[in-house]
Chains A and B, each alone.
Chain A
Amino acid sequence: MDAIIIQILNGLDKGSAYALIALGLTLIFGTLGVVNFAHGALFMIGAFCAVTMQKLLTLSTQTIDPEKVDFLGKPLVVDTPYVVNWFGPETGAAIIDWAVPLAILLAIPVMILIGFVMERGLIKHFYKRAHADQILVTFGLAIVLQEIIKYFYGANPIPSPAPAVFRGSLDFGVWIGFEANQIIYPYWRLVYFAFSAVIIGGVFAFLQFTTFGMVVRAGMADRETVGILGIDIDKRFTLMFGLAAAVAGVAGVMYVPILSPNYNMGMDFLVLSFVVVVVGGMGSLPGAVLAGFLLGILQSFASMNEIKSLIPGIDQIIIYLVAIIILLTRPRGLMGRKGVMEG
């Protein structure tokens, strides 16, 4: 029993990341009808926003402390971050400690801007062209974005820790009546799960309860009619592209403490997220979220030792296997609507 709960919990954080990326992919696909192979790169850029924030906050002035000496007997050079100078030692240290969550503030405008530029500058010209062309051009863009990041940040993973408060683990088992130390779950993963739940809820609420969201949903269902009614649907769809980019970006920011970002992490997540979208059903937002969590949990179950000894290597291929089975038996995906991209 406790093993099962552990696996479900372990699956949640990965599932959250899949769900967030797949949500963005589906938003773009549902509104603009574009298959965006560069979405993983957006996730990766988000993660590097966190790295940048960390670097910005620890920008330091060098002062010479005449009272102390280093081991060579010279006066000690002390690095003091600007934030410490500005806000005093305690607040300053706290701000640096919270660099990763604070990076969301940086990531949202950056990602919306990138999404905007991408849509207006590139994707716009590909609405009328074949899906293969869309895949190819966004694939090229993904390579370019990835290489730009590699040029500035190098090829090695850059670790950025979570705030100190969340660094420990939660003894989840005692809450639900198990012995101590049986079910242990890192705090940050819990934070990530809660965070993604908030974001997903936010996106759904935005689409469901605002006039803007209503128009977007109408546009997803029948773009032409909405246009005939005198609504500039293109402008709203551009905004939705920015929103999808921002969702992928913040998903990347918060994932940094779980997985140190490197320049090709986006590609790994992209392939899996596509599988998630396909399993959930192309164009279905609830399907994407459901399939994200489902596949995340499934993957963590498959990596249990008991199951691995039964079917060796199953943890590596389970997601693809499920996707293949789903595509062959139910091409619409779990929650796909009839007639949407049935190939």
Chain B
Amino acid sequence: MLKLDRKDTLLLVIVALMTLAAPIILNPFPTGSALAQFNAGYPDLMQRFVIYGIFAIGFNILFGLTGYLSFGHAAFLGVGSYSAVWMFKLLSMNVLPAIVFSVIIAGLFAVVIGYVSLRRSGIYFSILTLAFAQMSFNMAYSVLTPITNGETGLQLTLNDPRILDGARAATGLPVTNLFGFEMRSTAHLDIAGWGFDFSVGYYLSAVIMLLAFYLSMRIFRSPFGLMLRAIKSNQNRLSYTGLNARPYTLAAFVISGMYAGLAGGLLAAMDPLAGAERMQWTASGEVVLMTILGGAGTLIGPVLGAGFIKYFENIFSKINDSILHQWFSFMPDGIEDFLVTLVHPFIGKGWHLTLGLLFMAVVIFLPGGLVEGGQRIGRLFRRNKAGDTASPATTPAE
């Protein structure tokens, strides 16, 4: 089906089911209960899951396959956001032209940056992309203020032309829509204490994410993907066989830049404003984190990583000392207070500390990310099972 083998089809179907049922799966706790704060099934957060999922999938096509570590990918995200907002301002509040436009612009941008940066590899490539991203960030703040609106960020205003929507009398700021379906409209469903939100914006992003995922699957399994892997494993040998690696790396770079632009456009479609801080190098670092954490070079890894980071960012930022006191209240008072002070630096505003530690731990102990972790655990179980059934036969052959 869909030109995929059975295993990949199964993976795609599972991901599709999970994404489409996410509003239900991510709300396992009843609305009023104490655990409701762990629910992630509200539109805003779910949108971020899938959008950053797209971003990470794209980054993985570059980093996971070719091994080129770009530290400037957020620039494409920012460019995508800016172009989408400009489309909303000039043309129409329909998200379709905005998203298409943001992908195209980010792609063009990626061609230019990629053409220059890919002349070098290794750390030089990382530093070049970092330099380009910082340059774009600085320019967005200073010279390009007419386009980017500087520190305030680009926003919609009442007197934007909006050529196609001109006939509609605007009362207040218009909202982004897809042929009349407003992005922010949400269907709420209450079932015996559980509340589920099904939002148009989420489902649009989710469908696009699935398409993006399918595309990346096809790239991974294609001869082109194989070529990219060859570049990662040994670029010298590849060029000795008479193949020029640069067109392939440039193609990978542009594709991943377009993915980032798509993510940026979607971010703007969900909430039509764009700021330069989206291009800052900490944002580039974040997508690297997501990809590594999930597992670079694997299909599902980046999506997992993006979901993991965005979920825990949300949860950790919400927890405060009084919640901690509730959790540890079964302990004696002294120990309770001690535990709370111990955990305190890692929660709330300390989320970045946890993130940094987690990231270091992953790079040190689990370079393959969550996917490798899962595989290790799986292998452990399988070995145990094998050991139970045929333990006498496992003596080494030597």
Contact = CB atoms under 8 A, between A and B. Distances in A.
B123 A316 contact: no
B131 A316 contact: no
Contact of A147 (B119, B125, B138, B353): B353
A137 B121 CA distance: 19
A204 to B, nearest CB: 25
Given A125-B364, A132-B67, A313-B143, A147 B350 contact: yes
Interface residues of B, number: 41
B292 A136 contact: yes
A320 interface: yes
A44 B288 CA distance: 23
Contacts of A132: 67, 69, 126
Contacts of A131: 122-123
Interface string B187-198: 000000000000
Contacts of B124: 278, 327, 331, 341, 343
Contacts of A140: 356-357, 359-360, 363
A133 B122 contact: no
A144 B367 contact: no
B352 interface: yes
Which among A122, A146, A147, A323 has the highest number of chain B CB atoms within 10 Å? Answer: A147
Contacts of B125: 343
Given A271-B130, A343-B125, A144 B356 contact: yes
Contacts of A274: 127, 130
B36 to A, nearest CB: 28
B134 interface: yes
Nearest to A129: B367
Given A132-B67, A271-B134, A313 B123 contact: no
B123 A35 contact: yes
B230 interface: no
Interface residues of A, number: 37
B52 interface: no
A175 interface: no
B138 A343 contact: no
Interface in B105-161: 116, 119-128, 130-132, 134-135, 138-139, 141-144
A323 B282 CA distance: 21
A341 B350 contact: no
Which among B119, B132, B352, B360 has the highest number of chain A CB atoms within 10 Å? Answer: B360
A102 to B, nearest CB: 29
Given A316-B138, A343-B124, A133 B363 contact: yes
B135 A135 contact: no
B345 interface: yes
Interface in A135-181: 135-137, 139-144, 146-148, 151
Interface in A296-343: 312-313, 316-317, 320-321, 323-324, 327-328, 331, 341, 343
B355 interface: yes
Contact of A144 (B132, B143, B281, B360): B360
A143 B352 contact: yes
Interface of A: 35, 122, 125, 131-133, 135-137, 139-144, 146-148, 151, 267, 271, 274-275, 278, 312-313, 316-317, 320-321, 323-324, 327-328, 331, 341, 343
13 contacts: A122-B360, A122-B364, A132-B126, A137-B363, A137-B364, A144-B356, A147-B350, A275-B127, A316-B142, A320-B134, A328-B116, A341-B124, A343-B121
